[in-house]
Homo-oligomer: A and B are copies of this chain.
Amino acid sequence: MGRALSLSEGRVELAHGAGGLATHQLVEALFLPAFAPTLAAWRDRGVVVDDDGVVLPEGCVPAGHRLVQSVDAHVVSPLFFPGGDIGTLAVHGTVNDLAMMGATPVSLTVAFVLEEGLPLAELQRIARSIGAAAVEAGVAVVAGDTKVVERGKADGCFVSVSGLGHVAPDVHLSGRRARAGDVVLISGSVGDHGVAVLSRRQGLELETPTLSDTACLFPLVRPLLALGDRLRLLRDPTRGGLATTLNEIAWASGVGFDIDEAAIPVAPAVAGACELLGLDPLYLANEGKAVVVCAPDVADTALALLRNHPLGGSAAVIGRVVDDDTRSVVLRTPLGGTRVLDWLMGDPLPRIC
């Protein structure tokens, strides 16, 4: 059956994406071992992964729950960075999108576009990261696809992950549900992921190395669902940062925001790196933070629930939703002034996720 695959020395070849014997070997030797642990919970339920599609076990969506889907493509450069890699990022990105809908994540599909010449050892490291992040998030990797393009026609590895989850009948979170008087919280410090990737990319020697905050947010936000209708929405401020996420909500809900700059947690190392590089942490990507908007009477409870989880230790109330026909996000500065926080313009930091 052709040459054996050397995972330690080999490189991705066009044949690995041709759908023939080499693809079959790659799946058997590299992907299935990496993803099998994610199927452990379904081991005795007859899930077959070598067909064109995968039939999920009966009962993996509770009766009466609605289905939720999401998708994220990842092109981060470099592929490996302090605190994570493109594999962990791809799982967290999609699982967090489900979690922000109040959904319990169930399963993922993974599609790779690989550049000819990528070391198989790097691909294996990425696949194992996907498997490990999926196990930690409690989701099954149920289907995958791999395409390979010629050297120079892609940049190492691009990964797209789609997710399926389910949401209870009484959960209706949406960016359209913010209303004047609501309170805005953030689950922790902003800008860590952006600085972590940038420091690796630029070879910066920061005094305090910053790790990406990439993490699965479902365990952090699940307790908030008990707040019922008074929890309005959840959002993870990834690309575009906190500033853009708030603008998206303002746009969708037809409201404005009154945000207290001093209340927004920023790690000292991130603040320092941003000053050095001329970046604004409010526009940097986060991969393990949630924006929470809730009714004022449950804001204290929401804050306590967030702080009760290790990922939410530095959670903070950062502002309020206000009536505003211009849908502006207004930042109150520590010196008592105000400035309008616009959407991210251009792309100061390409390929951050």
A344 contacts B by Cβ under 8 Å: yes
Candidates B22, B51, B75, B160; contact of A175 at CB < 8 Å: B51
Closest to A53 in B: B70
Given known A162-B162, A164-B67, contact A155–B155 (CB-CB < 8 A): no
Q: Give A17 to B239 CA distance when docked, in angstroms.
A: 9
Q: A15 contacts B145, CB within 8 Å? A: no
Size of chain A's interface in residues, with CB distance under 8 A? 93
Point out which of A22, A107, A163, A345 has the most chain B C-beta atoms below 10 A from its C-beta.
A345
Which of chain B's residues have a CB closer than 8 A to the CB of A142? Answer: 69
Which of chain B's residues have a CB closer than 8 A to the CB of A77? Answer: 149
Closest to A152 in B: B152
Q: A346 contacts B22, CB within 8 Å? A: yes
A183 contacts B by Cβ under 8 Å: no
Candidates B15, B173, B343; contact of A24 at CB < 8 Å: B343
Which of chain B's residues have a CB closer than 8 A to the CB of A68? Answer: 53-56
Q: A53 contacts B101, CB within 8 Å? A: yes
Q: Nearest Cβ in chain B — how far from A238, in angstroms?
A: 7
Q: A71 contacts B2, CB within 8 Å? A: no
Given known A24-B248, A60-B67, A67-B56, contact A18–B350 (CB-CB < 8 A): yes
Given known A67-B61, A69-B56, contact A19–B344 (CB-CB < 8 A): yes
Q: Nearest Cβ in chain B — how far from A190, in angstroms?
A: 14
Give A337-353 interface residues, CB cut-off 8 Å to B.
342-347, 349-351
- Where the two chains meet, the residues of A that have a C-beta atom closer than 8 Å to any C-beta of B are 1-2, 13-15, 17-24, 48, 50-58, 60-61, 66-75, 77, 96-98, 100-101, 103, 107, 109-113, 142-150, 152-155, 158, 160, 162-165, 167, 173-176, 233, 235-236, 238-240, 244, 248, 251-252, 283, 285, 342-347, 349-351
